[in-house]
Amino acid sequence: MSRLIKIIAVFMLCVVVAAPAALAGGNVVIKGSTTVLPVAQAAAEAYMKIHKNVNISLSGGGSGDGIKALIDKSTDIANSSREIKKQEMDLAKKRGVNPVAHTVAIDAIIPIVHPKNKVQNLSLDQLSQIYQGKITNWREVGGDNLTIVVVSRDSSSGTYESWGYLVLNGAKVTPRAQLQASNGAVVQAVSKNRYAIGYIGIGYLNKSVNALTVGGVQASAKTALAKEYPIARPLYMYTNGTPKGETEGFIKFLLGKKGQEIVKKEGFVPVR
């Protein structure tokens, strides 16, 4: 009987020791920004085709959720469309996590309207006043006599944070704004409402909505890289320290030639 117990004990020890090693070697968990999501998804599919033994699981939820997951050690990569905040960095350090940023793309945040809206251009100041609720009718900015319906990302979104910094200069969004959980939801809301205005990452732009120019400048890879377009920002993937194993392999792939081609194909601006 004692011999049987010893054999069972050895077997259980092997399972406990080997399982985490297997998970670390062949699985990568990615969570966070919905803006970075299409790039991450396309890159993950391409990477797994090359590396058959690797499994990459991917989910959105917003930049804040991704960074929270990194701090909680429940993700290998946190997608974020904003820089990590000081309070998040302080909390991470308290929990023994060292967030390291990897810039994987450049994004232009584009204001969008319904295709029947005749407004084609807004200044940064006009956008700011609309989102603060100070301009409430399209007639005030050259449009029809229609009440403006403001559509915004919710506060867990990095795009919301970037818009607040680049457009609102820290001012609060009007409480009348309709808050959406993703870029796709903003597109859907604006495409169905002639009165609406929203904002999305450039990679989500499609024919169901019209993109506005900002201060007369059209959002593009060229204007974003040249810093001519005023609402552009980097997109990040955060890891806990220097990435290792398949996490390192995936990020190197995304920053390599094939990965940056994916970034471009998904409508964002490559960094290399």
Q: By three-state DSSP, how is residue 194 classified? A: coil
Whole-number pLDDT of residue 2: 42
Residue 10: what pLDDT?
Answer: 34
Quote the CA–CA distance of 116 and 52 in Å, as a whole number. 47
Spell out the domain ranges in the chain.
Answer: 2-106+235-265, 108-232
Strand partners, 79: 32, 237
Task: For residue 11, give Cα distances in angstroms to 2, 17, 20, 24, 112.
Answer: 14, 10, 15, 20, 60
**Residue range 108-232, CATH number:** 3.40.190.10
Q: What is the CATH number of domain 2-106+235-265?
A: 3.40.190.10
pLDDT value at residue 5: 35
User: What pLDDT was estimated at residue 170?
Assistant: 92
Q: What are phi and psi of 107, to 5 degrees?
A: -125, 145
pLDDT recorded at residue 272: 87
Q: pLDDT tens across 167-199, in order?
A: 999 999 999 999 999 999 999 999 999 999 999
| pTM, rounded to two decimals | 0.80
Q: Which residues of the chain have pLDDT under 50?
A: 1-25
Give the pLDDT score at 4. 37
* Domains 2-106+235-265 and 108-232 fall in the same CATH topology: yes
Q: How confident is the model over 211-229, as pLDDT tens digits?
A: 999 999 999 989 998 889 9
Alpha carbons within 13 A on the beta-carbon side of 194: 7
Report the pLDDT value the prediction gives residue 26, as an integer from 0 to 100.
Answer: 79
CB contact at 8 A, 19 and 240: no
pLDDT at 142: 96
pLDDT of residue 221: 87
